[in-house]
Amino acid sequence: MTENLTMAKALNAGLRAALEQDDRVLLMGEDIGRLGGVFRVTEGLQRDFGEHRVLDTPLAEAGIVGSAIGLAMRGYRPVCEIQFDGFIYPGFDQITSSLAKMTYRHDGSQAFPVVIRVPYGGHIGAVEHHQESPEAYFAHTAGLRVISPATSHDAYWMIQEAVRSNDPVMFFEPKSRYWQRGDVDLDAASAEPMHRTLRVRAGTDVTVLGHGAMVATLLQAAEVAASEGSSLEVLDLRSLSPIDYGPILDSVRKTGRLVVAQEAPGNVSVGSEVAATIAERAFYSLEAPVLRVSGFDTPFPPARLEDLYLPDADRVLEAVDRSLAY
């Protein structure tokens, strides 16, 4: 059975399934109950499951995460919502200093099944601290799983797998995709493991790789390239930690070229790590240097300038042209 859903509705359906399947699952966050969250991802869930399972919290991210850690120690499986990407920093210490290290500190005897949902990225014309891409901080932190869906189908299945994980999961949701529709196959056999890199378009000339909202931009670039006689292979990273390098290496060994794209700034980023690893592990297959396309190394600009800051298909294609010129 297939349903056509926006990503927001797919996440809602995935959270509903998780709540139905396990009484230990709790949702918690600012305005997620009666309001249904700023983006209405949790709409209707408090009505159907009650205030004891879908909790409106104070405006205190450190308190949200700290409470979730304690709940996990008592056997619950809390799912926290951080209202906007730039609001995560008050909870940063709890995530990186405590949550990420607790299982290791307990020598594996204590599980910490906490999911932290983070709407992130640009393209919504919002103000400061509402359009950032902070995923590299958490991908760098040992002890955290970091994933980001690009489609409604992946959002539906990956949020359920994240909730079932006994490890802490940072679940980055590309907010610009919340209102984009896509088919969701409700057959469990169609679900790919959340840490698998997927090929979403086959090609022969250049491999282009991204995650979250950037995947749609790469597909757009691939359409333009095809009209100009170039064939781009598009990969969806999906998992930022750990990274599934197998499909990336297979693709690069075929095309000989790689362009990595992301909305986040390029300095010390997920794209930087992918570029370095591919250069190490597939050096003799490369016909050109691995190239990166990213946001600029500045704070996110005012909304009227976001189109200049965020990578688009033209910037991706410019990198593709440079790669093919070697």
Residue 235: per-residue pLDDT: 98
Q: Which residues of the chain have pLDDT under 70?
A: none
Angle separating helix axes 246-255 and 270-281, nearest 10 degrees: 60
CATH topology of domain 2-190: Rossmann fold (3.40.50)
Q: Do domains 2-190 and 198-325 have the same CATH topology?
A: yes
Distance of CA 314 to the CA centre of its chain: 23
H runs (alpha helix) in the chain: 7-21, 45-49, 61-73, 92-93, 100-105, 135-139, 152-164, 214-227, 246-255, 270-281, 306-309, 313-325
Query: From CA 117, how far away is CA 42, in angstroms rounded?
Result: 11
Query: From CA 64, how far away is CA 169, in angstroms rounded?
Result: 15
Task: Retrieve residue 228's tokens.
Answer: 């100009």
Q: In which region does residue 167 sit, left (phi positive, over 0), alpha (psi from -120 to 50) or beta (all else)?
A: beta
pTM higher than the cut 0.85: yes
H runs (alpha helix) in 1-108: 7-21, 45-49, 61-73, 92-93, 100-105
Give yes or no for a contact between 295 and 265, defined as CB atoms under 8 angstroms apart: yes
Q: In which region does residue 15 sit, left (phi positive, over 0), alpha (psi from -120 to 50) or beta (all else)?
A: alpha
The arrangement of secondary structure in 198-325, i.e. its CATH architecture, is 3-Layer(aba) Sandwich (3.40)
Hey, is 290 helix, strand or coil?
coil
Give yes or no for a contact between 252 and 216, defined as CB atoms under 8 angstroms apart: no
Residue 243: per-residue pLDDT: 98
The residue type of 180 is Q
> Structural domain boundaries of the chain?
2-190, 198-325
> Residue written as tokens 């901080």?
137
Query: From CA 319, how far away is CA 271, in angstroms rounded?
Result: 14
Residue 127: per-residue pLDDT: 78
Residue 170: per-residue pLDDT: 98
Which residues are known catalytic residues? Answer: 130
Over its C-alpha atoms, the chain yields an Rg (Å, rounded) of: 19
Residue 138: per-residue pLDDT: 98
Distance of CA 60 to the CA centre of its chain: 23
- Quote the Cα angle for 311-314-315, to 5°: 45
Hey, is 240 helix, strand or coil?
strand
